[in-house]
Amino acid sequence: TTEIYTLSLHDALPIFPSMQAYWVSTVSGAGMLRTTNAMRSHQSLNPLKADAFTNKIVRLSISNGINSDEQILIFNQKANNGFDVFDSPKLFTTDITIPQIYTIADKNKLVINGMTALDSNKDIPLYFTTKKAGSFIFSLNESTGFDGYTLYLNDLQLHKSLDLSANKLYTFNSD
């Protein structure tokens, strides 16, 4: 049986930059995606280079000193605050030694959360899970396009607020 699916790229060009990955997801059942060498393209120009002011990006990570996980927040006027093409679902590992962080949009757990323009008073819930107790380091790895903003991490368990713009690391313990 052969089934044909449409690859939806929305506003994107039908080109993936070299050394980049892409996700393929099926709604149900098994499937197969085949690519051939004929699908390769060599570009003389770089139409994929984004304007420096297109997105505001926050890149966060959680680490236990050995293993880490990352969360990316993207603010783009074309995105919405629900689940859309600017989001990427979180794929959880079963390895109990890896701490994990994620956000949620429309009940979908996300590793990349694309949202519309940032409201300076908006709280964005960030979820943390671990199956192994220990000490963890939360870090702000990137904050592009946030000049004039102060980014805070609010620890709801310990009722602490940390200015991530000034101190990019936060260490805590979890059971």
Q: In whole angstroms, what is the distance from residue 133 CA to residue 131 CA?
A: 7
Contact (CB, 8 A) for 160 and 168: no
Q: In whole angstroms, what is the distance from residue 3 CA to residue 18 CA?
A: 28
Cβ atoms < 10 Å from Cβ of 118:
15
Give the strand pairing for 134-144 and 169-174: antiparallel
Question: Residue 60 — pLDDT band, cuts 50, 70, 90?
Answer: very high
170 pLDDT exceeds 90? yes
Burial class of residue 58 in the structure, from the number of CB atoms within 10 Å of its CB (0-12 exposed, 13-18 middle, 19+ buried)? buried
Per-residue model confidence (pLDDT) at position 4? 42
The DSSP letter of residue 118 is: P
Q: List the helix and strand counts (H, then E) for the chain.
A: 0, 10
Cβ atoms < 10 Å from Cβ of 140:
18
Residue of 7 and 22 predicted with greater confidence = 22
- For 114-169, what is each residue's pLDDT tens digit? 999 777 778 889 999 999 999 999 999 999 888 888 888 999 888 889 998 889 99
- For 67-126, what is each residue's pLDDT tens digit? 999 999 999 888 999 999 889 999 999 999 999 999 999 999 999 999 997 777 788 899
Enclosing H/E stretch for 102: strand 100-105
Going by C-alpha positions, the residue among 147, 60, 42 that lies closest to residue 100 is 60
- Tell me the pTM: 0.76
Alpha helices in 85-170 (DSSP H): none
Residue of 18 and 10 predicted with greater confidence = 18
φ/ψ region of 145 (left if φ > 0, alpha if ψ in -120 to 50, else beta) reads left
